[in-house]
A and B are shown apart, each in its own frame.
Chain A
């Protein structure tokens, strides 16, 4: 039976404020935590950050003083929720920044894969599969960095046996002209409700990943680690542009507020339904009850100010929870089918089909001049350990040129960048 958030009662707003001691939650134990519990914590932190920043931007764009007050009251609680969720991640001595980074990339892989598999719109599914292969590659690059930084843990101890660690679309080739990150927006009027939830989820998750790398990327001392973070942080910016351009840009701020609160309800309900850690499940249950009230407040404002019914946006409720689960077979199929795709405006095509002089090659030549950290990290791993770090549980890589001893030059991207005169620094 679907969960209809408009038919449920939440906690009244004046009973939602918590003390500092209530917010300063006991972190999970990094040795005990289920990898997908860590993923849910990382995801919901990103969702709360988006909720807070959306509310701040709404506040900056409305003159309605009383509406500002409503936003401020809800926003203060959203900010408390963000602290309660993000403070579940343990401190540096248990999980350092690169280990948390592995968690962020596991989120990006298994979240995007699930959303792509459950996306009803064929164009949006293609958008998600395109981004998926890029985050899949980031996990592999950071896993090699983690080995080089050497605190004794390997990436598979973070991800468990759930996610393979192997090349996707090589990061070196993900750098594109900004025009080629802009997709076609859906419309709230005609899109599937699930499509709106999916896109908002990816915007929140990728935005938080971008914010995280923007902030922690300069914390390592090793120049290669710093360089890898800044290179991949730039891709995360591309991904935020890529996903946010799928959202309907014509809706009102109030409609957008309802969509945000509805989105939070869906994901807290999903976490509550799928969580295996009883203590953390209580956090999801509490926050779901809070979000139900936030949704009611936003829905009331929409009806009162614009005369619109929030039920038209929310529908009958949620049919299925977003679930962190294995996507290994799906990922292998997508990487085999789409590794050589690139983007031209809102469309996707094999890189070999780009015309002579396309802006992609000039952009590649400019940013990749002088060496590429995402390639250098693999080279250094090979130089120091004799091989790459990979975690391939289901056999060798499905794309021959991406196997450790494969014919790397035979990848379509290497051929295309060389034939168009773009810099191709690694053979």
Chain B
């Protein structure tokens, strides 16, 4: 093993650990503010969908596994739909009247940017594992966000968005468990 290989291996481990810690922070955020506050729900929901779409684009370029690529294709399509549903909700009077200045975030937050960067940096033979590990964390976070806001959210239209999206992210989490890389 060369020094470079050792360096890549250590960096990969560090990236995974960082994703995992970030995921725990995300879970906490999704389960607290995102579970009842409209602005937090919109921010977390939109960033989550954007991350899914960008991560899927990386996976479709880099993965050599048919099952991972099929999953990534599904993520790109489903989370585009989710992003559109949120955009439509934000244009309704049900959201605009109480929250006239609310808008979807223009870009990913630093944590998700870091996750995308880790996917870009991952060695070829470690890519699929890293993508799937990130997906598990991201979907746990998305389920907590949607379930929490559907039950406790403060805006009826956004609660409806959460309720409509929850079965989809739950099915994604179940699909992830069925993917076998070997």
Q: In which size bucket is the chain B interface?
A: 20 to 34
Query: 0/1 per residue, B89-108, Cβ < 8 Å to A?
Result: 10111101000000000000
Interface contact B163-A346, CB-CB below 8 Å: no
For the complex of A and B, 7 pairs with smallest distance between CB atoms: A184-B88, A345-B84, A190-B156, A346-B88, A189-B156, A190-B94, A187-B156
Could you say which residues of chain B place their CB within 8 Å of the CB of A187? 94, 156-157, 159-160
26 A-B residue pairs with CB within 8 Å? A121-B92, A122-B91, A122-B92, A123-B89, A126-B91, A179-B81, A184-B92, A184-B161, A185-B160, A185-B164, A186-B94, A186-B157, A187-B156, A187-B157, A189-B156, A190-B94, A190-B156, A192-B93, A248-B160, A344-B84, A345-B85, A346-B81, A346-B84, A346-B85, A346-B88, A347-B84
Decide yes or no whether A191 CB sits under 8 A from chain B.
Answer: yes
Decide yes or no whether A75 CB sits under 8 A from chain B.
Answer: no
> Which A residues are closer than 8 A to B by beta carbons?
120-124, 126, 179, 183-187, 189-192, 248, 250, 344-347
Q: Which of A183, A192, A248, A250 contacts B88 (CB 8 A)?
A: A183
Instruction: Give the distance to chain B from A286, nearest Cβ to Cβ, in Å.
Output: 36
Closest to A179 in B: B81
16 further interface pairs, Cβ-Cβ under 8 Å (given A184-B161, A190-B157, A345-B81): A121-B93, A123-B92, A126-B91, A184-B88, A185-B160, A185-B164, A187-B156, A187-B159, A190-B94, A190-B156, A191-B94, A192-B93, A345-B80, A345-B85, A347-B87, A347-B88
Given A121-B93, A122-B96, A123-B92, A250 contacting B160 (CB threshold 8 A): yes
A126 to B84: give the CA distance in the assembly, Å. Answer: 15
A382 to B94: give the CA distance in the assembly, Å. Answer: 48
Could you say which residues of chain B place their CB within 8 Å of the CB of A184? 85, 88-89, 92, 161
Could you say which residues of chain A place their CB within 8 Å of the CB of B81? 179, 345-346
Could you say which residues of chain A place their CB within 8 Å of the CB of B87? 346-347
Closest to B97 in A: A190
Could you say which residues of chain A place their CB within 8 Å of the CB of B159? 187
A396 to B169: give the CA distance in the assembly, Å. Answer: 51
Closest to A122 in B: B91
Could you say which residues of chain B place their CB within 8 Å of the CB of A344? 84
Interface contact B88-A121, CB-CB below 8 Å: no
A279 to B93: give the CA distance in the assembly, Å. Answer: 41
Instruction: Give the distance to chain A from B53, nearest Cβ to Cβ, in Å.
Output: 12
Could you say which residues of chain B place their CB within 8 Å of the CB of A346? 81, 84-85, 87-88
Q: Which of B80, B85, B92, B164 contacts A124 (CB 8 A)?
A: B92
A186 to B94: give the CA distance in the assembly, Å. Answer: 8
Could you say which residues of chain B place their CB within 8 Å of the CB of A123? 88-89, 91-93
Could you say which residues of chain A place their CB within 8 Å of the CB of B156? 187, 189-190
Interface contact A120-B93, CB-CB below 8 Å: yes
Instruction: Give the distance to chain A from B163, nearest Cβ to Cβ, in Å.
Output: 7
Closest to B83 in A: A345
Instruction: Give the distance to chain A from B61, nearest Cβ to Cβ, in Å.
Output: 15
